[in-house]
Structure 1
Amino acid sequence: MSRDRLTATARGFLTLDRTATLTTLRPDGTPHVAPVRFTVDAATGLARVTTRATARKALNVAAAGPAARVALCQADGFRWITLEGRASVTGDPVRLADAVRRYTARYGAAPPDPPDLVVIEITVDRVLGLNV
């Protein structure tokens, strides 16, 4: 994803203090949808979701390995944007600190800090939306 794939309006929409849904696939292929807060860096095409390592969404991504694909959707009335892409889970302290810093900047408070905090990183390769 590059800046030219997101309009200024879409980039602004993605900075609003909103909850989104993250859709992952369970090992049996059924979808799991969870409400999440997230950040997106339009310049690098990387979206981030912090969560516990034992959360179903993290387990689903880890179980799928390099083939893991997810969809992250933020909606507000008749406006919505979905970011799709490959996902991975990491507990790397540098990447986790970056995710926490970005989350704090977007939402005005740090995310929960359980001992097993990880970040799901999504390399966005498809953007869909309406009225953004």
Structure 2
Amino acid sequence: MAHDPRALDDAFLAFWQERHISTLSTRRPDGSPHVVPVGVTFEPETGIARVISSRTSRKVRNVLDAGAAGQRVAVCQVDRARWSTLEGVAVVRDEPAAVAEAERRYAERYREPRVNPDRVVIEITVDRVLGRA
């Protein structure tokens, strides 16, 4: 079921605040899918989903390989019959303020992230929301 990303109901928003592991789907340079478990945060006011990662990870390299325009990706979480997919264009940001904001949001939803001097953030501008929460 599709939802308007700018008009999500309270139950749907609550689902994206609960502690759930998600998957991030990116495309490898050969076009094949790369799907990995991640922690993701979603800021409905701006439509931004964030995934923290090491700059050397395959998921980060996949997004960087797409160029400055970014790569279309999806993050998905499932809890029994409840599920949701956020789709949009991802870019990698390494500015200290962007990384710090992503770490702060990750700590709110999951736990304080371990120290990682190579950390970057994959920022997804969400333009499509699917699911049933």
Calculate the TM-score normalised by the size of structure 1. Answer: 0.94
**Cα offset, 1:102, TM superposition:** 0.8
Aligned ranges 1:1-132 → 2 under 5 Å: 1-2=5-6, 4=7, 6-65=8-67, 66-107=69-110, 109-130=111-132, 132=133
- Looking at structure 1, the residues matched to 55 and 77 of structure 2 have their Cα atoms a distance apart, in angstroms, of 23
Mark the runs of 5 or more structure 2 residues left unpaired by the alignment. Answer: none
**Structure (1/2) with the larger helix percentage:** 1
Aligned length: 128
Checking the alignment, whether the CA contact within 8 Å between 2:70 and 2:91 is kept in structure 1 is no
SS of equivalent to 1:126: strand
**Whole-Å Cα distance in 2 between the matches of residues 76 and 51 of structure 1?**
23
CA-atom RMSD, angstroms? 0.9
Q: Distance in 2 between matches of 1:113 and 1:69?
A: 28
Structure 1 residues not aligned, in runs of 5+: none
**Any idea what the Cα deviations from partners look like across 1:1-43, whole Å, max 9, x if unmatched?**
32x1x11111000001110000000010000000000110001
Rounded Cα–Cα distance in structure 1 between residues aligned with 2:80 and 2:94: 34
